[in-house]
Structure 1
């Protein structure tokens, strides 16, 4: 490891601050699984909006974005923040308010209440796989930054970042995310703009027109959206896959559930969308700037730290490094908590203990303890994937292609169509996801993007056909006196949750 310099000291201070603030939030958990998973459903607008932005602005949409732009053109990377912002707009205008009022702890809770045990189990597994991929992308981003700053092997660099995230996630749950996101994400946004303005404003000593002229033909025009040769099919697949698929995102919905009321959830999502939109230009243009500064770099994923360390003033570079690091850590924190909550709450507590073993399940302290324990193996799984295939950016799109294909139709139709039922949900989950995996192998490279576009409409259509065909045996209109929903079980859902849930379901 090289001797400490100003960059190293700045990063160590940033990591230390994140660790201390995140760990101190353990006092706010108060031995409650509900407070650990969704912050007691108490968060105001500023926290909700900031946290949603922090999940959107991550290592994939910053470092991964820039590397994709460097390799394939502006729209290849910009598709990520554009798609994520679109998702948050849809969440705020269509989904957030209604889901917040249901008093859920995890997103698979919705599939259980609406469609029963089997749908809950399958959706849980699909979302877990999706989020292990997402967290892996962000662990890889932290590894690239720390390796460049400290001159250490990628494995050890990534391990340092992953362990720090694990420690404060284990300690404070969603509260650790709320309080670390405040300084991590606004610092990231400021850093991205500082870097862009340094070059766009001519402060680097080179006119911005000269920098732009270094971009290959087609990199900055609309061909990346309008032509097959320019990557239009792939880029639109990324935008739409994220805009719709990320609605079925454990971490986004975790924050929607944590909002103190439906209006706060709605406004928080729109605030998060606005903050995400603000990063599209600076993060994407870093990839174009790198084409001028460091053409032919062997590893495109290192362009961000290379520019930060060698081509901007110290204060701008330090901000850039901390910005990407904070963005990646904040999303890894939220994703790690979301996966662990699903394992403990939906798979172990309900599907394994109650359904299959016919046991009463865990009490609240047991659920809290189990959720914390499972942050450890989930971190391990994401770490191994990130080390084997470090691909920030590509991972994000892949992660939400999976849930878009199978889980989006049951969520959307389950919320807004009274005839939705269990057979339809199972068909959509199994066929949609299976078809997406099949198309990964059979769609030729020149038609990449079709594997994103084809499965969701087939899944959606099958849901409607199966629901209509099975209405007589599985009516969707009323069950147990609660309109459209299976009542929540008693062991974890508190009295105040049940009241709010029933009120929302019967409106």
Structure 2
């Protein structure tokens, strides 16, 4: 934590009082940084500590859905979305909804995406808190307060640069520690033959029933994969890193690099949950299984690396979430929607936008801390976060990029209807049909988008009034955070 704090604070020198450099590192990062940062956002506290806990409780596939879904998302980003979005030279993902559809869609998408990411940040605060709480023998809340305060300090200081320069050593330590711990037991150094561990594991924990049998959670698992694989495309932190790449080719290759690194942890992390089931039976809180393994079952160097890895991963993703939410609130909700649309002001100049973004990190950190300490559920929080945006925001992004008839009424209908339907189904879906409440809303939202777009083409011809602009403005054409050359903002 001391190392991360030091490096993160020093990156404040790279911001140079520029909101663009603070939010997306000046759109200047090379492949190594982009790929590492994208993998850091997927190999986080939810997909490590939360993954092990879910495997311990429900079987291998219950936890494996997290890295599988995130890797699927990064592959889609690299092959379909990344290059196009990077070329648009945006600072935040809601900038796309503004350019394509106008202020109304921008405002609603900003609120939905911000709420979903507070949930994500809460999950990672909880994961880091479980590590410190177990190691230091202190209450979970105080452990989470330490983690969240550290993340706040270096996010406030360096923005996306702090993420880039801390991820570069956190990610590879994390991946290496996962494999070292798994191989320690797999090669028999843990004092128990690995074959004995596998033979003692309930059959439904390891077979394919978790993906094929609804009674074994198959529907829930597939829902989780799709929520992350498609819903995470509408992820503020992923897209923030895509925008930071110096060009579209780097963004595409960085996403594929991130996917490869994410795939590499599926086996070792999942099998740690299986190993713990044999060596640490009847643990009261499954979220303490990971730190208990590191402290009591592994040699000191591997155990310490495991603890540092998940703590660093949690802090990294929390950093990305804090920065992304604060950027959206400052740029999209305050600067454009409130000041320009409601109050008819000129907006915030660059320096004031930077100060505003930094200040907003404080209440967002507190919100994530309160939610995470009230209901500490790493892993579950990750899927829940992207359930929200998968239901409402995925269709407007995808169809807005690839369908000329996409228009403002369709975007508003999809954002509102999809998200509302997901909320309603959360309360009315019987337990035996869990998973359908994730799968149905995005399909319905997609259909609503197409139907509304076709019905409103005469008044809102999407291809004429809301076309996607792929012009990349040079630095001098960005005034007060607005790209002024190359396109006319859509009418609202």
TM above 0.5, yes or no, is yes
Q: Which sits farther off after the overlay, 212-221 or 276-285?
A: 212-221
Structure 2 match to 1:255: 241
- List runs of 5+ in structure 1 lacking aligned partners: 1-14
Match of residue 186, structure 1, among 172, 197, 213: 172
In 2, are the aligned partners of 1:478 and 1:485 still within 8 Å (CA)?
no
Match of residue 251, structure 2, among 249, 265, 273: 265
1:227 and 2:213 matched: yes
**1:132, 1:491 → 2: CA distance?**
30
In 1, are the aligned partners of 2:69 and 2:229 still within 8 Å (CA)?
yes
Following superposition, the deviation at residue 229 of structure 1 comes to 0.9
Match of residue 464, structure 1, among 450, 456, 459: 450
Structure 1 match to 2:379: 393
3-state SS in 2 of match to 1:312: coil
Structure 2 match to 1:378: 364
**1:326, 1:202 → 2: CA distance?**
28
3-state SS in 2 of match to 1:60: coil
Structure 2 match to 1:443: 429
Structure 2 match to 1:76: 62
**2:244, 2:56 → 1: CA distance?**
37
Structure 1 match to 2:15: 29
In 2, are the aligned partners of 1:71 and 1:300 still within 8 Å (CA)?
yes
Structure 1 match to 2:307: 321
Structure 2 match to 1:20: 6
In 1, are the aligned partners of 2:23 and 2:323 still within 8 Å (CA)?
yes
Following superposition, the deviation at residue 151 of structure 1 comes to 1.0
1:334 and 2:320 matched: yes
Structure 1 match to 2:417: 431
Change (3 A) 1:472 1:490: farther
| CA-to-aligned-CA distance 1:27-69 (integer Å, 9 cap, x gap) | 0000000000000000000000000000010000000000000
Following superposition, the deviation at residue 19 of structure 1 comes to 0.3
Q: Which sits farther off after the overlay, 385-394 or 147-156?
A: 147-156
**2:153, 2:206 → 1: CA distance?**
42
Match of residue 354, structure 2, among 368, 375, 378: 368
CA RMSD of aligned residues (A): 1.6
In 1, are the aligned partners of 2:237 and 2:324 still within 8 Å (CA)?
yes
Structure 2 match to 1:61: 47
Change (3 A) 1:285 1:486: closer
**1:140, 1:498 → 2: CA distance?**
42
Structure 2 match to 1:9: none
**1:380, 1:237 → 2: CA distance?**
30
Following superposition, the deviation at residue 490 of structure 1 comes to 6.0
Structure 2 match to 1:274: 260
Structure 1 match to 2:132: 146
Give the TM-score of the pair, scaled to structure 2: 0.96
**2:123, 2:385 → 1: CA distance?**
10
3-state SS in 2 of match to 1:297: coil
Match of residue 112, structure 2, among 116, 123, 126: 126
In 2, are the aligned partners of 1:478 and 1:484 still within 8 Å (CA)?
no
**2:462, 2:470 → 1: CA distance?**
10
Following superposition, the deviation at residue 460 of structure 1 comes to 0.4
1:492 and 2:480 matched: yes
1:171 and 2:157 matched: yes
Aligned length: 485
3-state SS in 2 of match to 1:219: helix
Following superposition, the deviation at residue 477 of structure 1 comes to 1.1
**2:130, 2:321 → 1: CA distance?**
19
In 1, are the aligned partners of 2:350 and 2:481 still within 8 Å (CA)?
no
Structure 1 match to 2:77: 91
**2:470, 2:356 → 1: CA distance?**
25
In 1, are the aligned partners of 2:404 and 2:463 still within 8 Å (CA)?
yes
Structure 1 match to 2:284: 298
**1:130, 1:349 → 2: CA distance?**
21
**1:49, 1:502 → 2: CA distance?**
30
Structure 1 match to 2:274: 288
Following superposition, the deviation at residue 502 of structure 1 comes to 5.5
Structure 1 match to 2:204: 218
In 2, are the aligned partners of 1:476 and 1:484 still within 8 Å (CA)?
no
Match of residue 351, structure 1, among 329, 337, 340: 337
**2:85, 2:470 → 1: CA distance?**
15
